[in-house]
Amino acid sequence: PNSATEQTNPMETGGASAVNPRGASNN
């Protein structure tokens, strides 16, 4: 992930971490 926040807070990526652990911002 780009930041620890994306990994610890799924809400930060709109729950994208459930599908992509890297976060939406990394997609």
Q: What is the pTM of this model?
A: 0.13
What pLDDT, on the 0 to 100 scale, is given for residue 21? 57
Residue 2 gets which letter from DSSP?
Answer: -
* Phi, psi dihedrals of residue 19, rounded to the nearest 5°: -100, -40
Question: In Å, how far from its chain's centre is CA 2?
Answer: 8
Element (H, E) at 4: helix 4-8
pLDDT tens for residues 2-23?
555 555 555 555 545 455 555 5
| Tokens standing for residue 2 | 């780009």
| Tokens standing for residue 15 | 């729950």
Burial of 22 (0-12, 13-18, 19+ CB in 10 A): middle
What pLDDT, on the 0 to 100 scale, is given for residue 25? 58
